[in-house]
Amino acid sequence: MQQLGDERVLFAFARDLEPALTVASGETVRIRTQDCFGNQVQTPEDQLDEIDWDAINPATGPVYVEGAVPGGALKVKIESIELDAQTASCTGKDEGVCGDRFDAWSTHLCAVEDGKLVWNEKLSIPLNPMIGVIGVAPEGEPVNCGTPGSHGGNMDNTAITAGATLYFPVAVEGALFGCGDMHAAMGDGEISVSGAEVAGWATVTLTALPDLRLTDPLIENDTHFGVIASAETLDAAADRAVHEMVDLLHDRTGTSEDELVMLLSLVADVQVCQMVDPEKTVRFMVPKYVLDALGFAL
């Protein structure tokens, strides 16, 4: 298995970046990632006003995947996520949902111990290791790692955990994959503007699917299959995700659109990923037992 350290990072997904690593289609690679602060917040004395904000939201990469071609897709299986022992969270003036309440930055450090996140001596939180920034190079201008889009990016999706598989539309040769911004725990919405930000290792299997045409990222796990969409508002992101799912199921199963819409209204869920980035992100998740009954196959 190849391994990629966090000395090669990108701060924007872009089509003209030199690959940090080249892998064959179907190859598994272990990737070291920095936290969203570029590992600059390690003690209570580390002030956010004093860190290098040009080094925020690094993603390790890019990784060139042989066989990935424009117009195709990249399949990314999350094999495992390994967390470092300390996390950092923050909120502050004009940040997140409640930024109007504050005049300055606040931070909170937590330890990762015995499968839990220790908030304080009275409260420990179950871990939900996830990858916040993950994606490929976009077709047009570079997209900074703080912004999500059809290429992936800063989707902050709590379903991107070990065992999940993502599918990204490919816009450039080799896809130019990158990931970072892991969280030890995060609630849907990420209301403070951060999760439990943590460095660590992601082990992923990267497979080129040159014949799969996509508009936005897809995600699947053992029980559900979904579309991930980002837009200026949550309403617009939700509309986009739902319409794309209806189109996909109609095209692949031949089920009429009206029947699909009525069925999805009974069984599928619009779930908020994050509501604090320049574009907001949702996922529209359909149970796999429904897809099996429809005869759906990607």
- Tokens at 51, concatenated: 């860190």
Per-residue pLDDT tens over the stretch 88-129: 999 999 999 999 999 999 999 999 999 999 999 999 999 999
Residue 49 is predicted with a pLDDT of 84
CATH code for the domain in which residue 76 is found: 2.60.120.580
pTM of the full predicted structure?
0.96
Q: What was the pLDDT predicted at 158?
A: 98
What does the pLDDT look like over 255-292, one tens digit per residue? 999 999 999 999 999 999 999 999 999 999 999 999 99
Q: What is the pLDDT of residue 67?
A: 98
The first and second tokens of residue 244, run together, are 């794309």
6-19 pLDDT tens trace? 999 999 999 999 99
Same-domain check for residues 142 and 276: no
Compute the distance between CA of residue 259 and CA of residue 293 in angstroms, rounded to an integer.
Answer: 13
Give yes or no: residues 149 and 240 share one domain. Answer: no
Helices (H), the chain: 234-253, 257-267, 288-294
For residues 240 and 115, state if they share a domain: no
**For the chain, what percent of residues have pLDDT higher than 70?**
100
Mean per-residue pLDDT over the chain, rounded? 97
Is residue 196 located within the same domain as residue 225?
no
Tally of domains in the chain: 2
Do 197 and 223 lie in one domain? The reply is no
pLDDT at 282: 98
pLDDT of residue 53: 87
Does residue 54 surpass a pLDDT of 90?
no
Query: Do 192 and 131 have their domain in common?
Result: yes
Range of the domain at 166: 2-209
Same domain as 252, residue 195: no
Q: What pLDDT score does 270 carry?
A: 98
DSSP-derived 3-state class of residue 54 = helix
Please provide residue 100's backbone torsions phi and psi, each rounded to the nearest 5 degrees.
-70, -10
One-letter amino acid at 285 equals M
Q: What is the pLDDT of residue 45?
A: 87
> Residue 46 — very low, low, confident or very high, per pLDDT cuts 50/70/90?
confident
CA distances from 279 to 24, 111, 128, 129, 274 (A): 33, 31, 23, 23, 9
Q: How do residues 190-247 score in pLDDT, each as one tens digit?
A: 999 999 999 999 999 999 999 999 999 999 999 999 999 999 999 999 999 999 999 9
Predicted local confidence at residue 177, as pLDDT: 98
Does residue 79 share a domain with residue 197? Answer: yes
